[in-house]
Amino acid sequence: MTGRSGRHRETRPASLLARLSLARNSLAGQVFSLQALIVLLLITAASLALFFQARFDSEKDARNRSLAAAEAFAHAPGLPAALASPDPTAELQPLADAARKASGVDFISVLSTDGVRYTDARPDLIGKRATGDLARAVAGQPFTEVFRGAPSDAVRAVVPVRDAGGQVVGLVSTGIEIENVGHVVEGQLPLLIGAAAGALLLGTAGAALVSRRLRRQTRGLGAAELARMNEHHEAVLHAVREGVLIVDADHRLLLANDEARRLLDLPPDAEQRDVGELGLDPRTAELLLSGRVATDEVHLAGDRLLAVNVRPTAPFAGRPSGSVMTLRDTTELAALSGRAEVARERLQLLYDAGVRIGTTLDVVRTAEELSEVAVPRFADFVTVELLEPVLRGDEPSPVAGMHARMRRAAMTGVRADQPLQPVGDTIFFAVPNAPMAEALDAGQAVLAADLHAAMGWRAADAAGTRTALEYGFHSLISVPLQARGVVLGMANFWRAADTPEAFDEEDLSFAEELGARAAVSIDNARRFTREHATAVTLQRSLLPRVLPDLSAVETAFRYLPAKAGVGGDWFDVIPLPGARVALVVGDVVGHGVHAAATMGRLRTAVHNFSTLDMPPDELLGHLDELIDRIDQLEAGEPAGGGESDEGVVEEPAGITGATCLYAVYDPVSGHCVMASAGHPGPALVHPDGRVEFPELPTGLPLGVGGMPFEAAGLALPEGSRLVLFTDGLLEDRDRDFDAGLELLGRTLARPGRSPEQACADVLAAMLFPAPSDDIALLIAEARRLDPHRIAEWEVPDDPSAVSRVRRAAAGQLEAWGMEELSFTAELVLSELITNAIRYGNEPIRVRLLHDRNLICEVSDGSSTSPHLRYAATTDEGGRGLFLVAQYAERWGTRYTERGKVIWAELSRTAGAEPQLPPGLDLDALEDLAW
């Protein structure tokens, strides 16, 4: 597969041959081959030249040495005399050998004028005639020559020998054999070859380096590819309709294509000139000089609008980088791009409206969000008016004329000083041809492009509209806010002097779309407001409005529903027999009407179970079992999962997810027993202000089931306070549970305040601006019953003891100033003690408590429970408990760990003394046992 340039994309050939093939085909490979060939030819020529030069120099040296040796020997003293001697050979041969060896020539021959040798390096040649032409020497002219012939080829010199008269009397021939001259050249060949090889290597390496550099710069492309790339470069640079400028780090213009010259009207000699000297627009010149990156910046060049992009070039050879600027003529597209930009901004505004409108489910805040989104990107001022029922969360009524008046719920503008009616005013739409009234009648947006010509609007309020026109209001779009076909209000978009352009038809459709989206959010907020109000009403009806006034505790409470929706927090204070009191706090997971209704069911169940006077752990166990049974019944009912008004199948809603803390305080002993079903434990505030959070076994939440609950006992000193709360008081998005617990401890640790003041201080310190969960707070200050108001007696298992205890009780009532209750108390005690003796087990005790009422308690060791019944006319007994129930304010039975307690509460305001049957006295009550 090939790329655009026709080269193979493979960058790592599998073999050396492949690499050589790629190198040979590339321009760098071709240059390398050519350079290597030239280097080889040059070195070969140089080597040959050096070789022949060496031969020439060797031959020349041989000539010079031969001539020098010949002349030196020819001019030696005594040579002419020796030639004239009878035996020249005997005299001259030793001298010739010595001279030959000293001069380094191959032979020195002394010849007669006719060429006969007297001496020679080879004795066998002595006496023989020398070959060759010796005429010049005989004529008196020395010479050198390359002699070829017998006995050997040589470079020889022939010099005449003259006598004292100047006559040539002989010849001296010296020479070096051609073979020896060649040996000299051959001795230089290794050096010559080595130098040639070194030069070849250096030349090849240089060619390789040049080729490598060229390959890196040409990317391994061939000549044809480079030619094609150059054609493309020329086409891109000069044929495209986009200007290109290249500026170096010194702000000199290096290159400008034809389009850039045309767009910027550059002079012909612009290249290599400083950017500041080109006469460019100041902004364009500043952009080039700064070197900063730019993307599609719009610059002015004469009457053209240019989209300019600037990017830095990569540094080269350690030099700083320059920059490349591209220019595109956008003059013809300016109007179209402007409309596209407006459309893009409108789409972005619609997106922002979808994100920002309806974030709080508050009707007024939703209207404010609509006005804030549209200013200033669409309108200079926005007003939103809503119908009164919508503000309350009610469904708008279709009564005729109801839309003629609305309340201004929100207003936002680019300036604070504006002539429009403020938020909260009632706005009337009485003039039929006013834009607002027309929009409401037509059920669609209405455009008043020129308010000066909107006579209906001006007639509605002549003075106010005149002020608005003088202020600069000139254009209006009125949009009815409708959801599900019901009008909820009106949104008015105004343009003033800050935006000279009037609204047009495109703005009208956009405003209608924006109003439709806002209307849905306002309707959702209205429906939420209605549901929230319903849930608050239901919850407040289910929570205790006032707490009972008890001797055991002084209580204060606070309850705040969550802003996001009513939850299921609740609390309660329940009077119990024996002057005791039950303190309850709980939390149902979730929000809304279902959570409030669930809370009411749980509170009612706790009230019912408390009448059985169970310990806290047993009560939570029964409550957990009840919730589990209710969940199972609701999940199994065919009608439990019906369809809502919108046709959506609703799943049955269970109660699982509730927590509860139940505590019972006895003011006689000062002891408090409590148990928790997944609820945070209470805070204990000691009389000196010290705060602690007692360890309390925390069971599973109600409805989970499977595990028993565990109770814990706590001694409450008189004056101490037990603080019960839900987790909404402690934690929120910005504070965790532990931090809230620490802050609560610091807030409670201030003595000298009433429970009511303490509640107020806790909320002031810990309340969030917009709590996300309900808050329930209950503070109970413990009181102790005065020991002088308590009377107790041990009763032996003897019927005769009844009268003694009865008389002792009468005496105690007289001491308390409660003589009016003596007869009734004696009657009740006689019946209860008699029955305890007859049917109960020891120990038997009697206790009187002087609280707001008189409480009579008889305890025994039996767990048998008495039952109220009507005695037949033939029965001798069975009427005693009936009398107790008739004359006591309240009565009942509670069980203890070792038996039971039967109690009766007698009120001082119950009325006159009871009338017994004729002939019946208190001593006869023993016969009326049940």
pTM above 0.95, yes or no: no
What is residue 244's three-state secondary structure?
strand
Nearest to 916 by CA among 855, 832, 856, 827: 827
Name the most confidently modeled range: 533-542, 782-791, 830-839: 782-791
What amino acid is encoded at 438 in this protein?
Answer: E
Q: How far apart are CA 22 and CA 220, in angstroms?
A: 8
335 versus 893: the higher-pLDDT residue is: 893
Q: What is the largest CA-CA distance in the chain?
A: 216
Q: How far apart are CA 705 and CA 626, in angstroms?
A: 10
Q: Is the peptide bond between 843 and the residue preceding it cis, with omega within 30 degrees of 0?
A: yes
Backbone angles phi, psi at 219, to 5 degrees: 60, 25
Task: Encode pLDDT of 586-637 as tens digits.
Answer: 988 776 677 777 788 888 889 889 988 889 999 999 998 888 887 777 666 5
The Cα angle at residue 859 between residues 858 and 863, in degrees rounded to 5: 130
List CB contacts of 461: < 8 A, sequence separation 6 or more.
none
Task: Encode pLDDT of 698-707 as tens digits.
Answer: 889 888 877 8
Predicted local confidence at residue 384, as pLDDT: 93
Q: How far apart are CA 568 and CA 722, in angstroms?
A: 22
Name the most confidently modeled range: 413-422, 643-652, 716-725: 716-725
pLDDT band at 654 (very low <50, low <70, confident <90, very high): low
DSSP code per residue over 422-458 = PTT-EEE---TTSHHHHHHHHTS-EEES-GGG-HHHH
Backbone angles phi, psi at 267, to 5 degrees: -70, 160
The secondary element (H helix, E strand) that includes residue 776 is: strand 775-782
Query: What's the Cα-to-Cα distance from 710 to each of 373, 624, 697, 698, rounded to whole Å?
Result: 56, 13, 6, 8
One-letter-per-residue 3-state SS of 545-578: CCCCCCCCEEEEEEEECCCCCCCCCEEEEEECCC
* 518 φ/ψ sector (left φ>0, alpha ψ -120 to 50, else beta): alpha
Predicted local confidence at residue 23, as pLDDT: 54
Please say whether the beta carbons of 141 and 135 come within 8 A.
Answer: no
pLDDT band at 332 (very low <50, low <70, confident <90, very high): low
Predicted local confidence at residue 9, as pLDDT: 43
Predicted local confidence at residue 211, as pLDDT: 73
Residue matched to tokens 């017998």: 150
What is residue 164's three-state secondary structure?
coil
What is residue 286's three-state secondary structure?
helix
Choice among 452-461, 485-494, 526-535, 633-642 with the minimum mean pLDDT: 633-642
Name the most confidently modeled range: 26-30, 60-64, 915-919: 60-64
Provide the β-strand partners of residue 894. 901
Task: Encode pLDDT of 765-804 as tens digits.
Answer: 888 776 777 888 999 999 999 899 999 999 888 888 888 8
Choice among 47-51, 468-472, 508-512, 813-817 with the minimum mean pLDDT: 47-51
pLDDT band at 416 (very low <50, low <70, confident <90, very high): confident
Predicted local confidence at residue 640, as pLDDT: 42
Structure tokens at 78: 């005594």
Predicted local confidence at residue 770, as pLDDT: 66
Mean pLDDT (whole number) for 842-868: 85
Query: What's the Cα-to-Cα distance from 484 to each of 351, 365, 517, 519, 882, rounded to whole Å?
Result: 22, 21, 12, 9, 65
pLDDT band at 163 (very low <50, low <70, confident <90, very high): confident
Please say whether the beta carbons of 909 and 818 come within 8 A.
Answer: no
Residue 22 has pLDDT above 50, yes or no: no
The secondary element (H helix, E strand) that includes residue 206 is: helix 178-218
Provide the β-strand partners of residue 489. 386, 481
Residue matched to tokens 């492949």: 18
Task: Encode pLDDT of 266-293 as tens digits.
Answer: 888 888 888 888 878 888 888 888 878 8
415 versus 210: the higher-pLDDT residue is: 415
Residue 650 has pLDDT above 80, yes or no: no
Predicted local confidence at residue 888, as pLDDT: 83
Predicted local confidence at residue 612, as pLDDT: 86
Predicted local confidence at residue 13, as pLDDT: 45
The Cα angle at residue 152 between residues 149 and 155, in degrees rounded to 5: 90
Predicted local confidence at residue 5, as pLDDT: 40
Residue matched to tokens 């027999």: 577
DSSP 704: T
Q: How far apart are CA 219 and CA 211, in angstroms?
A: 11
DSSP code per residue over 352-393 = HHHHHTTSS--HHHHHHHHHHHHTTTT-SEEEEEE-HHHHHT
Residue 560 has pLDDT above 80, yes or no: yes
Taking the alpha carbons at both ends of the chain, their separation in whole angstroms is 111
Residue 88 has pLDDT above 80, yes or no: yes
